């Protein structure tokens, strides 16, 4: 089966890339790869028509949109050949089910990937994974907000978290996260489908939110309500240049800046709540 690769270049990535992922998923696009300037998405050729994406051609946020046919050359085998494991230093190997062999890392997590989206290849997922190893997670109640593939929720359980709640607003992420939780034999992770309203009445010691700048800003109030005093909030999904803006908004709800970690211009910020 041939696939169509749709490439989109944005003049403003945030929040438009996440918006387009959500919209294209509803139209049947199966896989997404984040690029430095935008997004690549894939759909079976038989399910594609130009009318499907015509409404996006006039969006001011999009500077270029083009598509091409990817010939069927044993699609899965060709993709798997170019899909490498991800290594978080000597701590963690993130692999797909088709990867074979032994790994020197102390921990291995298996993720059924949606192309390379949400599998640890992105810098922000790498940063969040590394930071979790450096925190005291054992026995904690953890929220993995916008869980995606569920990778950080799985990691939290493997690090000894007592209970992990992992919601996502996207149906396809919800299903994939459930698959990955089962794939890693997790018993303390609850995957849910929905938004921040699911947090009402819940309490956490640690919150991980690897989303994007605008959503994070709108969520700080809800994270403050759900986090215990002196609890830790890890936020990622944005560039290092967004630090000042995010910290300023977080401080309005009692969060104190602790540290920032960066990788290839992407950033992760650790905050502590003081009620």
**String of DSSP letters for the chain:** --EEEEEEEESSHHHHHHHHHHHHHHTT--EEEE-SSEEEEEEEGGG--GGGTGGGTT-TTEEEEEEEEE--SSHHHHHHHT---EEETTTEEEE-TT--S---SSEEEE---BTTBTSS-SHHHHHHHHHHHHS--TT-EEEEET-TTSHHHHHHHHTT-SEEEEEES-HHHHHHHHHHHHHTT-SSEEEEES-GGGGTT--EEEEEEES-HHHHHHHHHHHHHHEEEEEEEEEEEEEGGGHHHHHHHHHTTTEEEEEEEEETTEEEEEEEE--
pLDDT at 223: 98
Q: Looking at the domain that runs over 3-76, which CATH code has it been given?
A: 3.30.70
Q: pLDDT tens digits, the chain, 275 residues: what are they? A: 788 989 999 998 888 888 898 889 888 887 777 777 888 888 889 999 999 999 998 899 999 999 998 876 655 565 566 567 889 999 999 988 888 888 999 999 998 865 434 455 678 889 999 999 999 999 999 999 999 889 999 999 999 999 999 999 888 789 889 999 999 999 999 999 999 999 999 999 999 999 888 889 999 999 999 999 999 999 998 889 999 999 999 999 999 999 999 998 889 999 999 98
User: Looking at the chain, which residues constitute the CATH 3.30.70 domain(s)?
Assistant: 3-76
* Confidence (pTM): 0.77
User: Looking at the chain, which residues constitute the CATH 3.40.50.150 domain(s)?
Assistant: 122-273
pLDDT at 74: 56
pLDDT at 114: 58
- In CATH terms, is domain 122-273 a member of 3.40.50.150? yes
């Amino acid at each position: 089966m041939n696939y169509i690769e749709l490439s989109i270049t944005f003049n403003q990535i945030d929040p438009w890339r996440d918006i387009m992922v959500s919209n294209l998923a509803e139209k049947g696009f199966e896989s997404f790869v984040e690029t430095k300037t935008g997004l690549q998405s894939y759909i079976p050729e038989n399910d594609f028509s130009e009318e499907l994406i015509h409404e996006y051609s006039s969006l001011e946020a999009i500077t270029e949109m083009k598509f091409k046919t990817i010939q069927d050359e044993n699609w899965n085998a060709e993709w798997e050949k170019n899909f490498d494991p991800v290594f978080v230093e000597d701590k963690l190997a993130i692999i797909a089910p088709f990867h074979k062999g032994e790994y020197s890392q102390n921990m291995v997590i298996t993720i059924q990937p949606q192309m390379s989206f949400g599998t640890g290849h992105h810098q922000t997922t790498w940063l969040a994974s590394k930071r979790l190893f450096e925190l005291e997670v054992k026995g904690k109640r953890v929220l993995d907000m916008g869980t995606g593939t569920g990778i950080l929720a799985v990691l939290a359980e493997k690090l000894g978290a007592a209970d992990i709640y992992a919601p996502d607003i996207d149906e396809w992420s919800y299903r994939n996260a459930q698959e990955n939780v089962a794939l890693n034999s997790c018993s303390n992770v609850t995957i849910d489908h929905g938004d921040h309203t699911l947090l009402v009445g819940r309490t956490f010691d640690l919150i991980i939110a690897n989303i994007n700048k605008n959503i994070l800003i709108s969520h700080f109030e809800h994270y403050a309500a759900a986090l215990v005093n002196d609890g830790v909030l890890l936020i990622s999904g944005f560039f290092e240049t967004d630090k000042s803006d995010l910290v300023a908004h977080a401080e309005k709800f009692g969060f104190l800046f602790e540290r920032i970690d960066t990788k290839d211009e992407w950033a992760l910020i650790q905050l502590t709540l003081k009620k």
